[in-house]
Amino acid sequence: MERRFASHPNEVKQFDTERLRKEFHIPVIFAPDELKLVLTHEDRMIVGGANPVTKDVVLTTDLKELGVTYFLERRELGIINVGGKGTVVVDGTEYEVDTKECLYVGQGSKDVIFKSVDAAKPAKFYLNSAPAHQSYPTTKTNLAESESGAMGGMENANERTIHRFIHTNGVQSAQLVMGMTQLKAGSMWNTMPSHTHPRRMEAYFYFDLPEDQAVFHLMGEPTETRHIVMHNEQAVISPSWSIHSGVGTHNYTFIWSMAGDNKRYDDMDAVSIKELQ
């Protein structure tokens, strides 16, 4: 498991492209038959992926890094499959998780195993884990069951549908909030006008993006913006003090996840477009 440290906005505004990517960009989420994990000290979120192809993948890591005897002893886990059909086995119970379905695994679950139904179309389980102070039941949900809403419009190239999976009105958690936003064809902007929420960090995972296209992810303080070029199936860490917005050369889908002081999806400090520099 790779470790990333937290950073101060006064420091980040001096980063060049290489340093910015090193600190916040996660270029590889999926590798065949591997578990890839990045621990960020931004609210101790873990971002990663499991890609079982020819064998099962087990949720494990160097437990000394977490100070526990098993991965979810003091953590909870959100899973969204962005590949072919798969199965997640939690303490012996199997959950079928199809494309764009979500599974929440509560604190105290000891054994988590990821499987693909078809090696020719392997599952790709995108993972977010946050520290937990209370255990909630393992729960599966999908797009049809999620709290969804349309936002934006074609006139601003940001017509999109937001699906909330793990949140106060959906699947319950200790602190993890997780969902998915799908941009309509012809739309390219997400989260614009932008905002910050200093009470919690956020991570973005971009997918459904053609291999020859890109998303310019915006971050930084509103008056000190920076950008990171993202490609398909890559993730980015957004500190609590940073905006998190982006524009693509093609429409795309992204998964957002948050951890911090509260679970209110609408807890944000708006930033007008005129304020951005």
Q: What is the pLDDT of residue 173?
A: 98
133 is in an annotated binding site: no
202 is in an annotated binding site: yes
* Structural domain for 165, as ranges: 2-275
167 is in an annotated binding site: no
146: CB partners within 8 A, 6+ apart: 102, 163, 164, 165, 170, 179, 180
Q: What is the pLDDT of residue 193?
A: 87
233 is in an annotated binding site: no
| Per-residue pLDDT of the chain in tens (277 residues, 90 and over written 9) | 999 999 999 999 999 999 999 999 999 999 999 999 999 999 999 999 999 999 999 999 989 999 999 999 999 999 999 999 999 999 999 999 999 999 999 999 999 999 999 999 999 999 999 999 999 999 999 999 999 999 999 999 999 999 999 999 999 999 999 999 999 999 999 988 889 999 999 999 999 999 999 999 999 999 999 999 999 999 999 999 999 999 999 999 999 999 998 888 888 888 999 999 9
Distance CA 189, CA 242 (A): 17
Q: What is the DSSP string of 148-175?
A: EEEE--GGGT--EEEEEEESTTSB--SS
Question: Which residue, chain included where needed, has tokens 């982006």?
Answer: 246
Please count the structural domains in the chain.
Answer: 1
3-state secondary structure (DSSP) of residue 135: coil
- The CATH code of the domain that includes 37 is 2.60.120.10
Q: What is the pLDDT of residue 262?
A: 86
